[in-house]
Structures are given as C-alpha cells and as structure tokens.
Amino acid sequence: MSAGGAGVRRAAVLGGVTGARTFLAPAALALRGRLGKAAKFVLPVLAAGELVGDKLPMAPPRTEGPGLVGRVVTGAISGRVSGGARGARVGAAFALAATYPLQALRAQIVKRTPLPDIAWAVPEDLIAAALAATASPEPRPDPGVDGPKTCHIGKFSAHQHGGRPGFVSAAGVGVAAGVVGTAAMTSAQVWLYGLTGGQASEAPGKVGERMLGVKVRKEQRPALNTAMHVLYGSSWGKVFGLALGRGERAPGPAQGFAFGAGVWGVSLAMLPALGLAEAPWKQSPAALAQDLGFHLIYGAATAAAYEAFTA
C-alpha cells in the first residue's frame, strides 16, 4: 500500500495517465506485481490494444459513452493501490480532470499544424508510459512521518507534517486545485452533453465581454468562454484554500462537496442578477439538479487535488 503522502502524490500522476490512456497506469502497476497474478498478464494486453486502437480513425472520443467512466474507475483503482482511500479519490479526480483537456489539446495540435494525428499520439504514448513507469513502484516511506511534526510549506506538505499553511501557500495551492476541479467539471459536462445533446453555458464568455467592455467576434467566443470558465474556477479555488485549507488536516470529500454546493448557490444568485440566467424558481428542477451535480464534481475534485498538492 501507500507510504503516506508519497503514495497520494503518485496517485495523482497515475490518475492523470489514465486520462490519456485508460489501461496504462493499472498495467504498469500490474507489471510490478501490485495487482495480482492474473492482472499481470491481462492488463498489459489491454493497454497494448488501447495503444493501437487509439491511432485508428474510428477511435471514439475519450469523453464519449462509457469511456470516461472507465478512465475514472481505472484512475481510482490505480490511486487506491498507490495511496489507499485518499489515493483513490485523488486518482479518480485527476483522471477526470485530464481526460477532456488532453483530448482537446491533441485536437487543436492536429487542427493548427500540418502534423498528422499520429505525430502527436505517439509522443503522448511515450509521455504517459514514462509517467506510469515513474509513479508505479511502491513508494518509500516518507521521512518524518513518524518523526518530528515539522512544517514544509515550500514543498506543499504542511498538512502531512501537522503544520498550518500560510495564507500565500494556501491561496496558491487552492488556485492550482481549482484548475484541476474546473477541468474535472468540464470533462463531466462534455461527457453528459454528448449523451443528452446539451450545450455548455455561454455565461462565462458573456461575463468576460462585460469585463473587457467589448463584443468579441463569434469565432473568438469559445476561447473567451473557456478562459473565463477556468479563471472563475481557479479564483474559487483560492477561496477554498484560504477558507478550508488552512487547518491542521487537509480538507476531505465532505468539505469539497460543501464547497461545490456553496459555489453553486452563489451562481444561482449572481447570474440572474447579471441578467445571464433566469431566477432559480423559473428554472426546471432537472436543470438545477444537473448544475448542482457539476458543481459537486468541481468541489470534490478541488478538494482531492488540494489533498494531493499538500500531501
């Protein structure tokens, strides 16, 4: 099992790898004998098949159908092996957070350069394999876990060693955690909208236009919408770090869900006040429940990322 914070940090890496290749992280763990004898033979075969299938024209998007769910599951399993229950949360969160951004990055590279898809796919394979190989060994026990409770905020390890992060450290780590939470929320949104035919909210972009004082061109709106979405999520991450991340213990899932629900509550008041959404009582229960679900994912992933960054 894990060796304290080292296992949780490795769980974050393994989770991120599954966002690129579903079976690569568990296959690396299996080859090191950490998932049983049968897995040692089955998972590498599945990983090899995925590497080949990923290059085929009929390969489905990573956020389509059961594919995203599979990545979250293998991320959680890999994280559990590396970092116990905390590692499972972290692995699932980073798997979800990495899936859509990596898919979008690859699509943009192919769209904006003369390179064929395989020219990026193979380097992506190699990077993911190298990360899986690096994070899959049994981590060594963290020095000082059973020793003096010293604070190492410069290494984002204050919680593990019983220290209390300062305001700057808590805010900085919170921003990074908020980016992970926003990416996880976005992956979930793309997955669900692909199933239901829904569309992402344009409210972040409209807020951006008001802040800039200009009307952006139609082709620029998706980029502005994405930028404002990330800025908003990371800004709330700073609030999370300052409000919930400065205790003696790192915030867990309960704090993450409460935080996500709180951000959702603020949006229910703020967007109608800006004229960008109807009042909550005019919205359908299904729409409200869906938006709440996305924000709970955001909060849980932000909390898990904060755990990983402070482990």
The verdict on residue 140 lying in a domain is: no
Residues 6+ apart with CB under 8 A from 100: 62, 63, 183, 186, 187, 190
pLDDT at 248: 79
Residues 214 and 293 in one domain: yes
Q: Which two tokens stand for residue 128?
A: 């993911």
The verdict on residue 77 lying in a domain is: yes
Residues 49 and 161 in one domain: no
* The total number of structural domains that make up the chain: 2
The verdict on residue 180 lying in a domain is: yes
Domain boundary among 89, 108, 135: 135
- Other C-beta atoms within 10 Å of 235: how many? 14
Question: Cα–Cα distances in Å, from 94 out to 48, 87, 180, 299?
Answer: 22, 10, 7, 13
Q: Which domain holds residue 44?
A: 5-135
Domain boundary among 107, 135, 163: 135
d(CA 93, CA 89): 6
pLDDT at 2: 44
The verdict on residue 145 lying in a domain is: no
pLDDT at 200: 86
Kindly report each contact of residues 248-254 with a partner whose C-beta sits within 8 Å and lies 24 or more positions away, as own/partner.
248/159, 248/162, 248/164, 249/159, 250/159, 250/160, 250/306, 250/307, 250/310, 250/311, 251/303, 251/306, 251/307, 252/303, 252/307, 253/89, 253/300, 253/303, 253/304
SS (H, E, C) the chain: CCCCHHHHHHHHHHHHHHHHCCCHHHHHHHHCCCCCHHHHHHHHHHHHHHHHHCCCCCCCCCCCCHHHHHHHHHHHHHHHHHHHHHHHHHHHHHHHHHHHHHHHHHHHHHHHCCCCHHHHHHHHHHHHHHHHHHHCCCCCCCCCCCCCCCCCHHHCCCCCCCCCCCHHHHHHHHHHHHHHHHHHHHHHHHHHHHHHCCCCCCHHHHHHHHHHCCCCCHHHHHHHHHHHHHHHHHHHHHHHHHHHCCCCCCCCHHHHHHHHHHHHHHHHHHHHHCCCCCCHHHCCHHHHHHHHHHHHHHHHHHHHHHHHHHC
Q: Identify the residue whose tokens are 């395989």.
A: 118
Residues 189 and 101 in one domain: no
Q: Identify the residue whose tokens are 């409770």.
A: 149
d(CA 152, CA 66): 41
The verdict on residue 170 lying in a domain is: yes
Residues 56 and 172 in one domain: no
Domain boundary among 106, 135, 164: 135
Residues 176 and 60 in one domain: no
For residue 17, the number of C-alpha atoms closer than 13 Å in the C-beta half-sphere is 32
Residues 6+ apart with CB under 8 A from 186: 100, 101, 229
Where the chain has pLDDT below 70, the residues are 1-3, 141-164
Residues 165 and 109 in one domain: no
Residues 182 and 276 in one domain: yes
pLDDT at 155: 46
Residues 157 and 300 in one domain: yes
Residues 131 and 160 in one domain: no
Residues 200 and 88 in one domain: no
Residues 288 and 173 in one domain: yes
- Other C-beta atoms within 10 Å of 22: how many? 25
Residues 131 and 216 in one domain: no
Q: Judge contact between 291 and 271, C-beta under 8 A.
A: no
The verdict on residue 220 lying in a domain is: yes
Q: How many whole angstroms from its chain centre is CA 75?
A: 11
The verdict on residue 187 lying in a domain is: yes
Q: Which two tokens stand for residue 102?
A: 């990596």
The verdict on residue 102 lying in a domain is: yes
